[in-house]
Amino acid sequence: MSLLREGKTARRYVLGYDLGEETSQISFLASDSDLPETLSTLAGAESYNIPTVLCKRAEVNQWFYGKDALSKIENEAGIRVDHLIERARSGNRVDVDGTGYDPVSLLTLFIKRTLSLLSMEMSMDMVDAIVFTTGTMDARMIEVLSEVTGALALPVKNIFYQSYEDSLYNYMLYQPEDLITHASTACDFNFGSMTVYDMKLNHRTSPIVVTIEKTSYDGMALPEGAFSSNPERKGEQIKKLDEKFLEFCSRYMDGRIVSSVFLLGEGFREQWMQQSLEFLCRTRRVFQGNNLFSKGASIAAREKVGPSGRLDKYVLLDEDKLKSNLGFMVKKQGKEVYHALLDAGENWYDVKKSLDIILELEAFLEIIVSPLTGGEKRIHRIEMDSLPMRPARTTRLRLNLTMKSSKTVVLHIEDMGFGELFESSGQTFTEEISV
């Protein structure tokens, strides 16, 4: 038993947490494994989905989550609390059983309870990194998740957040190369509006530029949110869905070469695709499942804490990414060399960089903006004429770079003076750079 315990302790893990409005999942990747596994809520079964729902027992401070919550709600033994992400984003207090609750605290409770499911596999002390992924990752979502993880006080040093597009990208680049020779498509369908992710690779660029376009298709939505329990009605729904999906696929694939198609979500779980699947399988490889995003997030977690090098030849430029390189020319050993400030491919909400520079005699900075998606390289000049006149190389500036959107870099410059020779003037300059 001691040998088994030592072997298990030696293993390290990274986690990918798919936080969905309807269901959530957790995947993990062990240090001695090449591919991630997804946590099953039922031993011996592929039961990955955890309903993103809480339930409070009436007049008692007892809470349930996931499938237990649904069971209690169905038996009228508790009060349903759902739409946890939407509520947390809004920030409005949630009234449950006559008491107002902070919505971020409710989301924190759900995530805490779901992470406890991992206890059969590992302790949180064995986790090196977690990547949370969700459908909408913007500044507000980052704020909410930062508050959640802060409240959880997890013993994990590395916690990251990313969109489904990022998770799809990480998942795909761990697949055999023949699946990404041309475009790849992922269709996420849960009986409502189908979300389609179209991943394209430009092999003519170095690094290879990857783009993912996200669109919605409403033609397959079922008003009931699921198949009817009436066999005759269900048969009609299946026939119509198959026709609608075939119509969509025919139009979507027309004139394009698509290497692989991934059918995700509960909507594809039942084998209702007949004509549509036959069409898709003619010249493409088709996969079905519902844990791609959590697996992709766990792969991203490993790459963030210990890069494998397999992503070096690619750069993802989706709508959340900086699409230009930024830098400037500096003098080193008497020669002017390029110094990188920001690299294309970074999530705009992750950009936080600070550095100090020493000016020669000039009272300006010239930032070189080099787009990776085409377009001419250009120079953005920042004038600082009001800086005090000092001898060459005796003005130290602190540059802080953040982004307010994927198209706007904010550069904040502060005069730091020069040690005991020159005090700081207290002057600051803030410049927005379109990229």
Do 331 and 395 fall into the same domain? yes
Identify the pLDDT of residue 10. Answer: 75
Identify the pLDDT of residue 220. Answer: 96
Do 288 and 402 fall into the same domain? no
Q: Could you tell me the two tokens for 242? A: 């198959």
Do 100 and 155 fall into the same domain? yes
DSSP letters for 211-250: EEEEEEE-TT--TTSS--SSHHHHHHHHHHHHHHHHHHHH
In a domain, 148, yes or no: yes
In a domain, 191, yes or no: yes
Identify the pLDDT of residue 5. Answer: 39
Do 152 and 77 fall into the same domain? yes
pLDDT tens by residue, 182-212 = 999 999 999 999 999 999 999 888 889 999 9
Do 139 and 159 fall into the same domain? yes
Identify the pLDDT of residue 332. Answer: 85
Taking 70 as the pLDDT cut, the residues of the chain under it are 1-9
The neighbour count for residue 335, using CB atoms within 10 Å, is 8
How many domains does the chain fold into?
3
Identify the pLDDT of residue 299. Answer: 98
pLDDT tens by residue, 118-175 = 998 999 999 999 999 999 998 899 999 999 999 999 999 999 999 999 999 999 989 9
The range of the structural domain enclosing residue 96 comes to 2-163
Give the residue from 108, 136, 163 where a domain finishes: 163
Identify the pLDDT of residue 434. Answer: 95
Identify the pLDDT of residue 3. Answer: 33
Give the residue from 143, 163, 183 where a domain finishes: 163
In a domain, 200, yes or no: yes
* CATH number, domain with residue 207: 3.30.420
Do 219 and 146 fall into the same domain? no
Across the strands, what pairs with 247?
none
DSSP letters for 389-424: P--TT-EEEEEEEEEEETTEEEEEEEE--BTTTB--
User: Residue 164: phi, psi to the nearest 5?
Assistant: -60, -35
Give the residue from 163, 182, 201 where a domain finishes: 163
Identify the pLDDT of residue 271. Answer: 86
Do 332 and 407 fall into the same domain? yes
CB 87 within 8 A of CB 103: yes
Do 123 and 15 fall into the same domain? yes
Identify the pLDDT of residue 215. Answer: 96
Identify the pLDDT of residue 1. Answer: 29
Q: Residue 211: left if φ>0, alpha if ψ -120 to 50, beta else—which one?
A: beta
* CATH number, domain with residue 128: 3.30.420.40
